[in-house]
Structure 1
């Protein structure tokens, strides 16, 4: 994930995926 460089790297998409992952872990760990 972090090694994605150059034209293939989409900062907005990476941020969106990161936010989804955070929400997923919050639901999993806090429930």
Structure 2
């Protein structure tokens, strides 16, 4: 079970990509 935490880097990178796309959509709609 502990080994799952080693995938945090992948999870963080994936989340950052999603956040980036979301922020782009937000700026496109609000801007």
Fold match (TM-score > 0.5): yes
- In structure 1, the gaps of 5 or more residues are 1-5
1:26 equivalent to 2:23? Answer yes
Q: CA RMSD in A?
A: 1.3
Select the structure that is richer in helix: 2
Identify unmatched segments of 5+ residues in structure 2: none
Question: How far 1:29 moved relative to its partner?
Answer: 1.1
Larger Rg: 2
What TM-score, normalized by structure 1, do the two folds share?
Answer: 0.64
